[in-house]
Amino acid sequence: MAAVLWFLASAVFVDLVGYWLHRMSHRPWSGPMFRAHMTHHVTNYPPRSVLSDRYRSSHRDSLAIWFAPFGAVYVLIVWLGLPHEWAILAGGALTAFLSSYLHDKTHIIGSFVWRVGRLKGIAVRHSTHHFKMGRNFGIIVDWWDRLFRTRRLPAASLEQRLRRHREHRPPSASDL
């Protein structure tokens, strides 16, 4: 039972660190992280083109942001000498992988994230993030956006967004 709790705690911690790293990547003072992430926002997926047939990136933009927290968890485990290190590493790795994978899928036309229950919220929040870059930094959950007041809901209904998506049209600014 303790291993399950460590697994969950690790997943939540990695998601929190990922939120802050994503938020920091929107600040010029973060240097290379800012430049890589702005390439994702401005060049690869500008607001008028947040969806495509395949993921348009060198993968530096999302992998660094979502796997850096995993490294932070490993350092924390070693430093604190925590028990159940494999459960902690597994929780962190799973969260980092899912964040990166789901993020990439939100940009692909016809991806399952636009069709599957709760995953629709991830896709909608992330598309909104591309229009309002100072909002919706969370990928898997929006807890941190709620807590730190960076959450923004889209103006358009989910049905409008999905209809545009099925018609292969990226959402417009009026949708958000």
- What's the pLDDT score for residue 111? 84
At 33-68, the pLDDT tens digits run 888 888 888 877 777 777 777 776 655 555 555 566
Q: How many domains does the chain have?
A: 1
Helical segments of 25-174, H only? 32-38, 60-80, 85-105, 119-131, 143-147, 158-166
Please tell me the least confidently modeled range out of 20-29, 79-88, 117-126.
79-88
Longest Cα–Cα distance in the chain: 53
- Residue 17: pLDDT above 60? yes
Please tell me the least confidently modeled range out of 9-23, 24-38, 79-93, 119-133.
79-93
Is the full-model pTM beyond 0.85? no
pLDDT band at 169 (very low <50, low <70, confident <90, very high): low
* CB neighbour burial string for 159-174, b if at least 16 within 10 angstroms, e if fewer: eebeebbeeeebbeee
Q: Which domain holds residue 37?
A: 2-175
What mean pLDDT value characterizes the chain?
76
- Residue 122: pLDDT above 60? yes
- What's the pLDDT score for residue 79? 76
Single out the residue of 14, 6, 138, 2 nearest to residue 73, CA to CA.
Answer: 14
